[in-house]
Amino acid sequence: MKKNTYINELEKFAGQSATLRGWVYNKREGKSLIFLILRDGTGTCQCIINQQDVSDAVWQNASELTQESSVAVTGKVIEDERSSSGYEIHVTDVNVVQIARDYPITPKEHGVEFLMENRHLWLRSQRQWAIMRIRNEIIFAIHTFFQERGFIQMDAPIFTGNAVEGTSTLFETNYFDQKAYLTQSGQLYGEAMAMAHGKIYTFGPTFRAEKSKTRRHLTEFWMIEPEMAYYDLEMNMDLAEEMMAFIVDRVLSRRETELASLNRDTTALEKARKSGYPRITYTQAIERLKSDEMRIMLDEMEDSRKQEDPQLRQEMAELEKEFGQAKKGRKLQIEKRLRDIRVRLEEIEEDLRNIPVWRKSALEKQWGDDLGGSDETLLTMQFDTPIMVYGYPAEIKAFYMKRDPDNDKVALGVDMLAPEGYGEIIGGGQREESLDVLLDRIEEHELPIEAFSWYLDLRKFGTVPHSGFGLGLERTVSWICGLKHVRETIPFPRMLGRLYP
């Protein structure tokens, strides 16, 4: 085959003839004109076929094209400001590779369940395409950040004999008649590697049998876990926020088009591209949740939703009345607006159902309770950048967390919560480095000591203060893209009740 020309490099061919190979994203037909939106993986480009300029055979080929047919299109590359690629093609030749029959995902509205069943095809649509490109940018940014700072990337095993993050979410497998688990976190192995290399990070899949459906949980997700020797909690927090600011900055400067195509309001991201995020203690977080300000914020939220609802319903009624007499173009506009209104009404209904539950959870919070998803949502609504909450009750944290030397009830753990209601994207902290203390903790947590024998060796042979954290890739993508659910952040999501495709 001749070398491919890609849509994102059309500027090199301005004024010349080029051949694009791709798929028909959309097709409109006029009397003697056919407008194709061609996509080739790098972008989309309008291709115009004028009956007067092409042979009958070429016109025939173009006429037969359907959505998602594969095709090679040759024509002159013309600059065009209105086009998303900056160019359009005035077509001279059309070569059909395959005519696609009855592509299931049409431009009309589809339900999420249907789209999830067709995830293998859904990935081709504009929104999903933009999300995956941002995911890729985030992955690249993370590697760049750590590599530029002398961290060594290390792969932790997927089959393990240890529970890291509690025993309730373990996936058990049969490993040649021995029990093995799919890893929940590479951290313990990361600690071993940090003692060999100083600063390391893992970047791999992790697994948790999350038995409830939420917008933040997958059963298979990707985690990035840096681990550093001779780092305390504060150095750990500095690193976490520098990394996050670096990621956000990269996406803002390199994926502007994709963010725009997702209609992402980037106000909060603009604030997060610089580090210096607020840090509050867990105790302060509890005080905030129980405060008058929080109650007032919730009351105001409830009132504003209650006002918005009838306004939207009235607008909807007016649009529905207008629809009958409207011309075709206006009809499309009305349909779009009605769809948006319906989505918003559902959100309002959900908020109005949630607010009383959130209020109760927040106001009744006691020191020692874990922060739930809704508590995190409320806390982050009071800030416009990510925040870090540190110093959690030791009781609710993992066995490996070091305790605050000044207060044995407090663990030196930290979570980073993303703004705009997103909540936890990072969990980490300083690790217990004393062999004796760790032995006690393993006993307290009723963990099988034999499985941790190797881990305890790290405290016998040159133990040092060390820290690390885990960044959830999908939650980060979800926040940066402004999505409602993590299921769209990974090519093939694995969740409760979802193993296909």
Side-chain half-sphere exposure of 404, counting CA atoms within 13 A: 19
Q: Which does 88 bind (CB under 5 to 8 A by kind): ligand 4AD, Mg ion, none?
A: none
Dist CA 224 CA 205 (whole Å): 9
Q: Which does 472 bind (CB under 5 to 8 A by kind): Mg ion, ligand 4AD, none?
A: ligand 4AD
Residue from 183, 472, 487, 493 that binds ligand 4AD (CB under 6 A)? 472
Dist CA 11 CA 20 (whole Å): 13
Residue 237 or 262: the one with the smaller Cβ distance to Mg ion is 237
* Minimum distance from residue 472 beta carbon to Mg ion (Å): 9
Residue from 61, 85, 185, 275 that binds ligand 4AD (CB under 6 A)? 185
Give Cβ neighbours of residue 50 (< 8 Å, ≥ 6 apart).
Answer: 32, 33, 90, 91
| Alpha-carbon separation of residue 289 from 96, 359, 396 (angstroms) | 61, 9, 18
**Stretch in the footprint of ligand 4AD (CB under 6 A) among 26-34, 271-279, 301-309, 462-470:** 462-470
Number of C-beta neighbours around residue 496 at 10 A: 14
**Stretch in the footprint of ligand 4AD (CB under 6 A) among 62-70, 277-285, 374-382, 425-433:** 425-433
Which pair of tokens denotes residue 23?
């798929």
Residue from 62, 269, 418, 426 that binds ligand 4AD (CB under 6 A)? 426
**Would you count residue 475 as binding ligand 4AD (CB under 6 A)?**
yes
**Would you count residue 423 as binding ligand 4AD (CB under 6 A)?**
no
DSSP characters over 145-201: HHHHTTPEE-PPPSEES--SS-STTPPEEEETTEEEEE-S-SHHHHHHHHHHHSEEE
* Minimum distance from residue 316 beta carbon to ligand 4AD (Å): 36
Residue from 10, 24, 164, 229 that binds ligand 4AD (CB under 6 A)? 164
* Minimum distance from residue 415 beta carbon to Mg ion (Å): 6
| Main-chain dihedrals φ then ψ at residue 367, nearest 5 degrees | -55, 130
Dist CA 111 CA 115 (whole Å): 6
Residues 462-488 as b/e (b if ≥16 CB within 10 A, e otherwise) read: ebebbbbbbbbbbbbbbbbbbbeebbb
| Main-chain dihedrals φ then ψ at residue 415, nearest 5 degrees | -120, 140
Residue 318 or 370: the one with the smaller Cβ distance to Mg ion is 370
User: Site mask, ligand 4AD, residues 212-251, x = CB under 6 A?
Assistant: -----xx--x-x-x--------------------------
**Would you count residue 427 as binding Mg ion (CB under 5 A)?**
yes
**Stretch in the footprint of ligand 4AD (CB under 6 A) among 111-119, 131-139, 253-261, 467-475:** 467-475
* Amino acid making up residue 58: V
Residue from 44, 46, 183, 187 that binds ligand 4AD (CB under 6 A)? 187
- Angle, helices 126-148 vs 473-481, to 10°: value is 120
**Would you count residue 375 as binding ligand 4AD (CB under 6 A)?**
no
**Would you count residue 428 as binding Mg ion (CB under 5 A)?**
no
Which residue ranges make up the site for ligand 4AD (CB under 6 A)?
164-165, 185, 187, 208, 210, 217-218, 221, 223, 225, 424-428, 468-470, 472, 474-475, 486
The binding site for Mg ion (CB under 5 A) comprises 427
